[in-house]
Amino acid sequence: MTRTALRLLLLAAVLLGLTSCSAPPTAATHRSELLILVSIDGFRWDYLQKYDAPTLRQLAAGGVHARRMTPSFPSKTFPNHYTLVTGLYPQNHGIVSNWFFDPAYGETFGMSKPDSNSQARWWAGGEPVWITAEQQGVRSACFFWPGSETENHGARPSLFRPFEGKMPSNDRVDGLLAWLDLPAGQRPQLCTLYFDLVDHAGHTYGPDAPETATAVQQADAAIARLLAGLAARGLRDKTDLVIVSDHGMSPCGPDRIIFLEDLMDVNTVQVESTGPNGGVRPKPGGPTPAELVAAIRARNVPHLRVFLREEVPARLHYSRGDRIPPVVLMADDGWNIESKTGWPKRAPTYVRGSHGWDPATSNMGALFIAHGPTFRRGHEFADVENIHVYNLLCAALGLQPAPNDGDDRLVREALAR
């Protein structure tokens, strides 16, 4: 090599080093062999200390822990699970509630309707991380997650299971571990895993009930089983875990109800959602949305706010798209919006806990833990919005993220330096 060529090579190396040092931290320096994204539905942020969860507490202490993760509005299951894996607010990815009406289709999406989970048209507004991975040569496997049962952008996860709500948590863990026993060329590098037992207990008994404490213990035991299975396969120290929840849980009951019939003539509207937040769409010939909002506001109903869709506070990012009803009703924390139809029979078994209220409400806060070779150790910080999780997943996997509403703040907070 000539002296001139050597100088040019050294100069190029120096310039490359300067470029690397000044580049933003968009990808992990230390890459694991496997990333598992785990959701414990309804695991409120303070359950980690409130109840017996030794495995989760150990992971939080040894990895990266946000004391509270703020969900997106509405703080419900399907919108937030899709936000976690797309980085988009619900108004932008289109899954605006657990149940919603799409006037373009003339149909209602429902979280428990098999067609809604398997038809691509409902989910096309966002690119979930498993699709980002597949398109960039990273195999993915979804052991339950909203949106994982359908084709998206012409692709699917390499492996997936349609949701089975009655499947025990241990069977879910074992099913995912079985995928990790596949030959190297078939083994996934990105997995999702979903548990719903904590959410069910919170709804049925309330967030402060002993049954909810037991459900937290059972979820913690399922995580311990997952860790043991990874260790048995020699993967424990080569795996990144990102453990999240979609929302928290507030106590409520049949004594704190706002009835739709006390707000409006329900025969003039299509009721599209109820509960902690509600929505109605005026029928042809009925009042305009503006007239309906004005009439409800004139009643000065306690524990209730009402908005035209376009007037929903900007911080909630819930004002665009026809899937959001033209009139949005928001109850105060602990209060619910319901219909009087069939109420005497429903009241005795009404939920003792729920979610869907303003994400800023303390009880709506969710769980965030990241642990593994890609992440910092022993780092805790105050709060993060869940729109930033997608970019972190992409960075940990070395993927180029699709356009989204998040930024790199969680990447900078969580990745090992």
Q: What pLDDT, on a 0 to 100 scale, did the predictor assign at position 279?
A: 97
Q: Which CATH class is domain 34-250+359-414?
A: alpha beta
Give CA–CA dist 191/158, Å, rounded: 10
Contacts of 189 (CB under 8 A, 6+ apart): 33, 34, 35, 133, 138, 139, 140, 397
CB 133 within 8 A of CB 398: no
pLDDT of residue 352: 98
Other CB atoms within 10 A of residue 152 CB? 21
349 is catalytic: no
Question: Residue 252 half-sphere exposure, CB side, CA atoms within 13 Å?
Answer: 29
Q: How many CA atoms lie within 13 A of 164 on its CB side?
A: 11
Domain residue limits, the chain: 34-250+359-414, 257-350
Predicted local confidence at residue 32, as pLDDT: 83
Of 57, 42, 80, nearest in space to 198 by CA: 42
Among 55, 70, 77, 374, which one carries the catalytic annotation? 77
For residues 110 and 55, give the distance between their C-alpha atoms in angstroms, rounded to a whole number. 34
pLDDT, position 417? 84
Integer-rounded Cα Rg, in Å, for the chain is 23
| CA–CA gap between residue 232 and residue 269 (Å, rounded) | 58
CATH of domain 257-350: 3.30.1360.180
pLDDT at 138 (0 to 100): 97
Record the tokens describing residue 32, joined without a space: 């694991």
**Mean pLDDT, each 10-residue run in order, the chain (417 residues):** 38 34 49 93 98 98 98 98 98 98 97 96 98 98 98 96 97 98 96 98 98 98 98 97 98 98 98 97 97 98 98 98 98 98 96 98 98 98 97 98 98 95
